[in-house]
Amino acid sequence: MAEESASALEHRRNGQAPLVGLSRHGPAREGRSPRPDHRRERRHAPGVARPAREGRVVTTPDLPDDFPPGLALDFGQVSRAGVYNDLLGGKSATAADRETAQAITAASPDAPAVARENFRFAGRAASWAVRRFGIRQVFDIGVGIVDDVPLDSVESCVRAVAPDATVLAFDNDPVVLVHARALRRGYGGVLRGDVRDLDTIFQNPGLAHPDLVGRIDLSQPAVVVLAAVLHFVEDPAAVMAGLRERLAPGSVAIVSHATTSHTGEDRVGAMTAAYERGASSIVFRPEEEIAALADGWEIVRPPGLVPVQGWSVDGTYHGEPYETVRVVGMAAVLPGASATVEVARGVG
């Protein structure tokens, strides 16, 4: 028989059962295993970032599987998604994001209103394309952090007209992904993808997930949403050409882009500087250059390329005009499908 410890002997002398283990539930009796300490078993749900104070770098093993182990989430860095979230009226922006958003708004007081109109445009145009052409797969690229935005997302707009549609969100920002995967349950999936490398989207291993089998078919038309994305890309023409090569005929690209046309140079310069101070880069382009991105596509007319607050095929949607910043949008169809639509190349 094993020799008893001094504490066990003392308990036996006092007529008490010897201690065989300790837990937060108190002493365990002889012959019984100690009750488990559930505090040790509590772990963050997969894909949810641990809470962090603003300005701190947090390394968490609970990031999505397609990110390198030990990747650091720096909540002190400005995130384009966080800035956009703040402009949209969301609550997920950090102090650094809010500071950049305030600088943008100081340069362009219309920036928050135009951001909201851009968000509405994306949902309105995507749902129109799904309804008009019977498309049932939508890729929302550069989705951002919009879970707490008081507006209808692309997913909710699409599902309102096509409940059987699958909407996949893509982003290359790990902070965006941990937000979206934890909170945005309506999406068919949220995958890591970078518009500058389209193979990360169209050859993404996540497309083979069992939940998506039979729901994503790249041989069939798709709607691709690029809302306020291409003005952050150095070569947007290459992106549009790459989409043209990868998508099936009849696919639709929903594009919006900040423009220099009819916008004062001082405003454009101030907004560009605000983004650059936030460690980001934005390129405002003239409308003619934005329309040229649809080379090889057919721009839907009406309405053509117009300010996002005025985009609607039937002419029933009219937003307020804005002077201090302009974002224009278009829907472009990849030719070759049997469906017919009145289209034109050029500025609408």
pLDDT of residue 185: 56
pLDDT of residue 206: 87
SS3 7: helix
Cα distances from 213 to residues 218, 240, 317, in angstroms, run 12, 27, 37
* Amino acid symbol at 257: H
pLDDT of residue 329: 98
Instruction: Pull the structure tokens for residue 77.
Output: 């860095």
pLDDT of residue 188: 58
* DSSP element (H, E) containing 292: helix 287-292
pLDDT of residue 18: 32
Is residue 290 domain-resident? yes
- What region, left, alpha or beta, does residue 197 occupy, with left being phi > 0 and alpha being psi -120 to 50 degrees? beta
Is residue 221 domain-resident? yes
Domain that holds residue 136: 110-263+283-333
Task: Return d(Cα 84, Cα 107) in angstroms, integer.
Answer: 15
* Entry pTM: 0.79
pLDDT of residue 115: 98
Nearest to 167 by CA among 207, 137, 124: 137
Q: What is the DSSP string of 159-204?
A: HHH-TT-EEEEEES-HHHHHHHHHH-TTSSEEEE-BTTBTHHHHT-
Is residue 213 domain-resident? yes
Q: Count of residues for the chain? A: 348
SS3 257: strand
Task: Return d(Cα 41, Cα 225) in angstroms, integer.
Answer: 41
Task: Return d(Cα 112, Cα 89) in angstroms, integer.
Answer: 8
CATH number of the domain where residue 296 is located: 3.40.50.150
Is residue 181 domain-resident? yes
pLDDT of residue 299: 98
Strands 22-23 and 26-27 turn out to be antiparallel
**Helix 95-107 and helix 80-87, axial crossing angle in degrees, nearest 10:** 60
**CA angle, corner 320, sides to 268 and 128, nearest 5?**
100
SS3 64: coil
Is residue 42 domain-resident? no
As for how many domains the chain has, the answer is: 1
* Amino acid symbol at 192: R
Is residue 150 domain-resident? yes
Strands 327-333 and 252-258 turn out to be antiparallel
Instruction: For the beta carbon of residue 179, count every other beta carbon within 10 angstroms.
Output: 26
Is residue 46 domain-resident? no
pLDDT in tens, the chain (348 residues): 444 434 333 433 344 433 222 222 333 334 444 444 433 333 333 333 333 434 444 343 344 555 555 566 777 888 899 999 999 999 999 999 999 999 999 999 999 999 999 999 999 999 999 999 999 999 999 999 888 899 999 999 999 999 999 999 999 888 787 777 666 555 656 788 999 999 999 999 888 888 888 899 999 999 999 999 999 999 999 999 999 999 999 999 999 999 999 999 999 999 999 999 876 899 999 999 999 999 999 999 999 999 999 999 998 898 889 999 999 999 999 998 554 444 433 343
Instruction: Pull the structure tokens for residue 209.
Output: 């997930």
Is residue 84 domain-resident? no
* Amino acid symbol at 3: E
Task: Return d(Cα 187, Cα 298) in angstroms, integer.
Answer: 28
DSSP assigned state of 315: S
Nearest to 202 by CA among 122, 154, 123, 141: 141
DSSP assigned state of 297: S
Task: Return d(Cα 325, Cα 327) in angstroms, integer.
Answer: 7
Could you tell me if 118 and 189 are in contact, meaning their C-beta atoms sit under 8 angstroms apart? Answer: no
**CA angle, corner 251, sides to 250 and 254, nearest 5?**
135
